[in-house]
Each structure stands twice: as structure tokens, then as C-alpha cells.
Amino acid sequence: MVFDAALDNATTHDDIHADHQRVIDAGGFGVPTLFLLGQCLFGPVLVDPLTGPGALTLGGVVTGMAELPHVYELQRPKAPADIDLIGRCLRPYLNGRDWVSINRGEVIDVEHLTGGRSS
């Protein structure tokens, strides 16, 4: 119902375009992109959204990073089991879309990471 109302609103496209342009102008990319304390932050990237105490902890980590303006990236290496989990979680999304992934002008082959298209 809310989604339909947004689609019916003539300003929705302009609002989305303005949000997208704000991210591009700030040097951001992808989703999620957050603006905290005057900074543009990409992430956090999650497989399973957190709730309860875990969500509060994550919120503290994200806002804590924003308070340290010269910390640019924190990343965890992905083991084969992590790649498999991410692939399984992304499979329904990949199956439902009708476009390819492009990174800096290059088409990205995500099929090999996600076990290919399911039938």
C-alpha cells in the first residue's frame, strides 16, 4: 500500500534521483550508503539483518566509525564458507532481476560466486 502510493506520487522519481545524486556527489557508491556526522559511509553490508542487542552494537560500531574521520575501511576476509553463504542469500535476488552487475564499466560475473542460475 505504501509502495503503491509512492509509485503513484509524481515526485517519487525526482526524490530518488536527488538521493542518488547526493550519493554520487559525495563520492559514494552502492547501497547501503549512510550520511552520518557530515560524512558519506558505505555499509554496513549484512547477510542477515540484526535485531535487538546485535542491532544496537552494530549501530554503535557504525556511529563510532563516523566519529573517527580518518578510518576509511574495515573489512573482514571471506572464507569459502562465507562466499557460499553470501551466494545462497543473493540467489533469489539475482534470479529475480533482469540486469547485469557493472563495476567501473566492467560487467561482473556473479554467477560463479552464487552457484549459477537456479531452475
Q: How many domains does the chain have?
A: 2
Q: Are residues 62 and 91 in the same domain?
A: no
Range of the domain at 61: 2-66
Q: Are residues 45 and 98 in the same domain?
A: no
C-alpha 35: how far from chain center:
14
- Specify the pLDDT at position 118: 44
* pLDDT tens digits along 63-117: 999 999 898 888 889 898 988 888 888 888 888 888 888 878 888 877 766 665 5
- In terms of DSSP bridges, do strands 33-36 and 39-42 run parallel, antiparallel, or are they unpaired? antiparallel
Q: Which three cell numbers stand for residue 43?
A: 555499509
- Specify the pLDDT at position 15: 93
Q: Are residues 6 and 62 in the same domain?
A: yes
The phi and psi torsions of 80 (rounded to 5 degrees) equal -55, -40
Q: Are residues 62 and 85 in the same domain?
A: no
Residue with cell 558519506: 40
Q: Which amino acid is at 50?
A: L
Helix (H, G, I), strand (E, B), or coil: what is residue 9? coil
| pTM exceeding 0.95 | no
* pLDDT tens digits along 21-47: 999 999 887 778 999 988 888 888 888
Q: How confident is the model at residue 119 (pLDDT cuts 50, 70, 90)?
A: very low
